[in-house]
């Protein structure tokens, strides 16, 4: 049997010798290929298992989706069924409402006829047959007069009577007089409705199932707005709903009620935001009575005061602690003249405010331009103490207050302070009072203040009422620029120079030394904002 090479299929002795020499290497090569193939097979098996698991999860997920879709479909069918039922109910209610509107229109027509009637209640009460009428009408009137007044609308629908006017003309009208409801003449000299007559009409409206507001509207349309008030109508309807249909005054009813000052004071203190009209309705007295009594009690209506922030308990406690500490420190070692304070403020170019003016009745109101969303303005930074202004700057367009800018201004202010008050800088040491804005509390600013030897005075957050620049300096500056219009930044700067030139040293001293009073007020109010 001839041995051949498995690769080239030749039986050349030299090739076979080469194969024998390379057999170990070939076996190692084929072994590595076999291992690689086995690894590939294992990887394919794992991938197949993963795909099968993923397929099963996908099928399970689709099954859940299908189940949810069936539930959603069932829910939609039920909702459609409910919607159709709502449509049917709405259609039925629309028909009922239309029918009631028609009935209301018919009743309004009857009421209008009642207004035009010339028959007065006195004629029927004292001599109901004084006017010559036909026998049939007399029988109808006699029947209605003898009928108890329980359901007047049942007997008044088809009753007609013939009346003789001043011109002897026959007039056929609908009349409620025979069943207890008065018919008022539209003549200016006609008889006014009495209380019992008005209450009879109210009971009639109540028996028809109407609400108090609807009854009041019908009565106003028929007899005018001065017959009965809406509040009185509501009170009588409330009485009728309780089962009491009597029309007579209860003992004490109808007299002017005496207003109890204690009751009024209790209502006002329980809800200070109630209006005078609401208080009058609660106490069932007139508007003027409540207004006069409130004035007698020393009560006046005041608008809520704007506050910078809604303080929480922790912030109020912080304000209380700092104010207490500073009060005690100033008492033992006065330090107010060592304080340097600063702050920033936007100054608008247009400082006009829309307000009312006294004009003639037929004169049109003056026009006022609407404020723009982004108004022109410039930022002012001012540094001062109890002796006066130390430094101020107006920022240029596009410039902002950052740590670098703040430190630069701090250097300029310190130079001016060293010239104006060398004793404060060299011996006592200056104290800086500013808020906790980011440029003020940055690391660079803190390092600069430490190098210059400044002490930072504790200042609670959200406390402009404890900052002299806010409660004193800027407040007076606002009064100066109020109503003024600046064309550019130069005009604003000139206005500020005009402001500081008009102030005396007492102005600056008062602003700083008022801190003691304000710290005390803060302590007295337990850290809350106090009245200015």
What does the pLDDT look like over 132-163, one tens digit per residue? 444 434 443 333 333 333 334 333 333 333 33
CB < 8 Å & 24+ apart, contacts of 491-494 = 491/349, 492/347, 492/349, 492/378, 492/380, 492/394, 493/394
Q: Which fold has domain 261-297?
A: Arc Repressor Mutant, subunit A (1.10.10)
The confidence band for 384, taking pLDDT boundaries of 50, 70 and 90, is: very high
**pLDDT for residue 184 is more than 70:** no
Q: What is the pLDDT of residue 381?
A: 94
**pLDDT for residue 293 is more than 70:** yes
Mean model confidence pLDDT for the chain:
77
**pLDDT for residue 220 is more than 80:** yes
- Between 67-76, 125-134, 219-228, the lowest mean confidence (pLDDT) is in 125-134
Q: Across-strand partners of 161?
A: 173
Q: Across-strand partners of 164?
A: 170
The confidence band for 187, taking pLDDT boundaries of 50, 70 and 90, is: very low
User: How far is Cα 481 from Cα 472, in angstroms, rounded to an integer?
Assistant: 15
Q: What is the pLDDT of residue 40?
A: 75
Sheet of 339-348, strands arranged across: 388-394, 377-385, 339-348, 431-433, 455-456
Q: Is the CB of residue 438 less than 8 Å from the CB of residue 397?
A: no
C-alpha pair distances (Å), 161 with each of 74, 150, 221: 66, 21, 24
User: How far is Cα 132 from Cα 120, in angstroms, rounded to an integer?
Assistant: 15
User: How far is Cα 417 from Cα 410, in angstroms, rounded to an integer?
Assistant: 10
- Between 50-54, 177-181, 414-418, the lowest mean confidence (pLDDT) is in 177-181
What does the pLDDT look like over 410-446, one tens digit per residue? 999 999 999 999 988 888 899 999 988 899 989 999 9
Domain boundaries in the chain?
Answer: 43-104, 195-242, 261-297, 313-353+373-525
Percent of the chain whose predicted confidence (pLDDT) is above 70 = 76
Q: What is the pLDDT of residue 244?
A: 84
Q: What is the pLDDT of residue 431?
A: 94
**pLDDT for residue 506 is more than 90:** yes
Q: What is the pLDDT of residue 7?
A: 61
Instruction: Name the region of 510 (left: φ>0; alpha: ψ -120 to 50; beta: rest).
Output: alpha
Higher-pLDDT residue of 359 and 495 is 495
E strand map for 146-298: 160-164, 170-174
What does the pLDDT look like over 518-529, one tens digit per residue? 999 999 999 998
Q: Is the CB of residue 393 less than 8 Å from the CB of residue 345?
A: no
Burial annotation 499-530 (CB, 10 A radius, 16+ → b, else e): ebeebeeeebbebbbebbebbebbbeeebebe
Q: What is the pLDDT of residue 82?
A: 79
The confidence band for 372, taking pLDDT boundaries of 50, 70 and 90, is: confident
Percent of the chain whose predicted confidence (pLDDT) is above 90 = 28
The confidence band for 190, taking pLDDT boundaries of 50, 70 and 90, is: very low
In the predicted model, what is the mean pLDDT of residues 274-284? 88
User: How far is Cα 347 from Cα 319, in angstroms, rounded to an integer?
Assistant: 29
Higher-pLDDT residue of 388 and 83 is 388
- Go through the chain and tell me how many residues it has: 532
Q: Is the CB of residue 529 less than 8 Å from the CB of residue 518?
A: no
> 377: helix, coil or strand?
strand
The confidence band for 173, taking pLDDT boundaries of 50, 70 and 90, is: very low
Higher-pLDDT residue of 336 and 95 is 336
Q: What is the pLDDT of residue 137?
A: 40
The confidence band for 452, taking pLDDT boundaries of 50, 70 and 90, is: very high
In the predicted model, what is the mean pLDDT of residues 242-251? 76
The confidence band for 123, taking pLDDT boundaries of 50, 70 and 90, is: very low
In the predicted model, what is the mean pLDDT of residues 286-307? 85
**pLDDT for residue 485 is more than 80:** yes
Handedness of CA 185, 190, 191, 195 (dihedral sign): positive
Query: What are 50's two structure tokens?
Result: 């993963």
Q: Which fold has domain 195-242?
A: Arc Repressor Mutant, subunit A (1.10.10)
Tokens 């070692």 belong to 333
Q: What is the pLDDT of residue 368?
A: 72
Query: What are 241's two structure tokens?
Result: 């709903």
Check for a shared fold between 195-242 and 261-297. Answer: yes
Query: What are 89's two structure tokens?
Result: 């109910």
In the predicted model, what is the mean pLDDT of residues 35-43? 73
Q: What are phi and psi of 345, to 5 degrees?
A: -155, 140
The confidence band for 26, taking pLDDT boundaries of 50, 70 and 90, is: low
User: How far is Cα 314 from Cα 221, in angstroms, rounded to an integer?
Assistant: 62
Q: What is the pLDDT of residue 12?
A: 67
**pLDDT for residue 393 is more than 50:** yes
Q: What is the pLDDT of residue 181?
A: 39
> Is the pTM above the cut of 0.85?
no
Given 1.10.490.10, 3.30.420.10, 3.50.50.60, 3.30.70.2740, which CATH number is that of 313-353+373-525? 3.30.420.10
Q: Which residues contact 474 (CB under 8 A, 6 or more apart)?
A: 343, 345
Q: Is the CB of residue 294 less than 8 Å from the CB of residue 268?
A: yes
């Amino acid at each position: 049997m001839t041995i051949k090479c498995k690769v080239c299929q030749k039986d050349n002795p030299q090739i076979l010798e080469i194969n024998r020499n390379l057999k170990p290497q070939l076996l190692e090569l084929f072994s590595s290929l076999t291992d690689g193939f086995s690894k590939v097979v294992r990887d394919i098996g794992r991938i197949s298992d993963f795909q099968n698991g993923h397929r099963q999860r996908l099928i399970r997920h689709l099954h859940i989706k299908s189940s949810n879709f069936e539930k959603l479909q069932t829910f939609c069918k039920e909702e459609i069924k409910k919607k159709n039922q709502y449509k049917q109910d709405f259609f039925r209610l629309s028909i009922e409402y239309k029918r009631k509107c028609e009935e209301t229109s018919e009743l309004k027509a009857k009421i209008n006829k009642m207004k035009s009637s010339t028959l007065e209640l006195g004629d029927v009460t004292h001599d109901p047959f004084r006017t010559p009428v036909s026998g049939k009408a007399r029988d109808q009137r006699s029947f209605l007069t003898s009928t108890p007044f329980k359901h007047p609308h049942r007997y008044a629908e088809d009753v007609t009577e013939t009346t003789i006017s001043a011109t002897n003309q026959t007039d056929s009208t609908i009349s409620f007089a025979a069943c207890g409801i008065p018919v008022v003449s539209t003549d200016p000299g006609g008889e006014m409705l009495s209380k019992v007559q008005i209450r009879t009409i109210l009971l009639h409206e109540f028996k028809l199932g109407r609400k108090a507001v609807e009854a009041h509207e019908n009565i106003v349309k028929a007899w005018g707005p001065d017959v009965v008030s809406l509040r009185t109508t509501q009170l009588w309807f409330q009485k009728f709903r309780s089962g009491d249909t009597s029309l007579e005054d209860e003992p004490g009813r109808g007299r002017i009620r005496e207003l109890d000052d204690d009751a009024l004071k209790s209502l006002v203190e329980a809800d200070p935001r109630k209006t005078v009209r609401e208080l009058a309705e609660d106490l069932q007295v007139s508007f003027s009575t409540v207004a006069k009594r409130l004035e007698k009690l020393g009560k006046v209506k005041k608008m809520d005061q704007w506050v910078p922030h809604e303080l929480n308990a922790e912030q109020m406690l912080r304000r209380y602690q700092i104010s207490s500490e500073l009060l005690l420190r100033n008492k033992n070692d006065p330090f107010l003249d060592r304080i340097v304070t600063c702050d920033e403020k936007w100054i608008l170019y247009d400082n006009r405010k829309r307000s009312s003016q006294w004009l003639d009745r037929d004169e049109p109101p003056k026009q006022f331009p609407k404020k723009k969303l982004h108004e022109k303005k410039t930022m002012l930074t001012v540094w001062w103490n109890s002796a006066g202004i130390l430094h101020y700057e107006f920022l240029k367009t596009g410039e902002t207050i950052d740590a670098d800018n703040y430190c630069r201004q701090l250097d300029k202010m310190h130079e001016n302070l060293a010239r104006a008050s060398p004793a404060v800088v060299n011996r006592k040491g200056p104290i800086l009072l500013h808020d906790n804005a980011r440029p003020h509390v940055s690391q660079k600013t803190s390092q600069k203040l430490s190098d210059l030897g400044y002490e930072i005075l504790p200042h609670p957050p959200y406390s402009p009422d404890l900052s002299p620049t806010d409660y004193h300096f800027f407040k007076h500056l606002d009064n100066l620029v109020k109503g003024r219009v600046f064309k550019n930044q130069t005009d604003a700067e000139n206005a500020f120079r005009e402001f500081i030139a008009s102030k005396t040293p007492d102005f600056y001293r008062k602003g700083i030394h008022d801190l003691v009073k304000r710290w005390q007020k803060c302590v007295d109010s337990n850290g809350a904002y106090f009245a200015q």
